[in-house]
Amino acid sequence: MKILITGTAGFIGSSLAERLLERGDEVVGVDNINDYYDQRVKYGRLKRAGLDAEAIKEDKNTSAKFYTSQLFPNYKFVKMDISDREKIEKLFKDEKFDKVCNLAAQAGVRYSLTNPHSYVQSNLVGFANLLECCRNNDIKAFCYASSSSVYGLNEIQPFSTKANVDHPISLYAASKKSNELMAHVYSHLYHLPTTGLRFFTVYGPWGRPDMALYLFTKAIIENKPIDVFNYGDMQRDFTYIDDIVNGVIKVIDNPPEGNPLWSGKDPDPSSSKAPYKIYNIGNNNPVKLMDFIEAIENKLGKKAKKNMLPIQPGDVPSTYADVSGLIEDFGYKPKTSIEEGINKFVDWYLEFFNI
């Protein structure tokens, strides 16, 4: 298949691209490489895939130039913003993709409290551009990143895709819920198969520098205090990157066909008569934040200095994924323990930063 992956300088996108390339798919990667977090990690991910990171760094994002991987001849990358409608339309017209996986987005719950317009531009305008391009270019399947944050004020756990998610508590979450609604419209009107994946706290090597594991590891190594929100009374359904990618590939390979049993009198929010599906993708095994910190301390052989703080606006105290949909449809089963995943991340961190 020829697959467009947006967000290929990102954490999940870079790992997904490499797995698809290794099995022989042709991949076109797109990323605007913004400065939301440390760009060294973004360029490092591109370099890992055999791309000329230094040349891409100098690219001013004006020519839509392609860069070909030295490791994977079937991989080319273009520095581009999905909110640039004209360039995205030309890319689809020229490249003639079979399938699209959208992992490009402005990420981060807390950042959305102070920078709302960046979420509108990327997560709404950019997403609409992709849907329109899929509709107009005979795309066979469109999968995209949603988020566990859509559950908002829901308190019934584990979080189920059959639950109502009409009470988000951050603009980031609202933008992801909007993506799901927009995708359903295109599935219903144009029969575009769409699948949304609600990711639950992805972690592992090459992970995002704004996430807890990276921040905690860096601070402990540097003998600086870590911020522990809600006084440590939090838990997250931490999911290792390899387990996430396994699930995403299952979805790419098996687009939805529609649920003939779906009823508007008793509507299931996770499916439709249209070719539309929503899945949770998580570890189905929440970990207490203090246990998570302890696992990092054990790996580093150092105790963390903890700055205990109240919960942040937009945060939820607990996430726990009901992944029964992925299990039933694809036999999905995460395999990586939190200790194994943290150990692999710390090993990567020490090597990447030459510590």
Which of the residues are catalytic? 172
For residue 4, give both structure tokens: 């467009």
For residue 329, give both structure tokens: 């449809």
Distance between CA atoms of residues 118 and 165, nearest Å: 23
* Beta-ladder partners of 6: 30, 102
Q: Which residue has the tokens 């098996």?
A: 254
Which residues have a Cβ under 8 Å from the Cβ of 173 and sit 6 or more positions away? 109, 147, 149, 150, 152, 314
Residue 117: phi and psi, rounded to 5, are -65, -30
Alpha-helical segments (H) within the chain:
11-22, 39-48, 53-58, 85-95, 116-119, 127-136, 171-190, 212-221, 241-253, 289-300, 324-330, 338-352
The SS3 call for residue 154 is coil
The SS3 call for residue 283 is coil
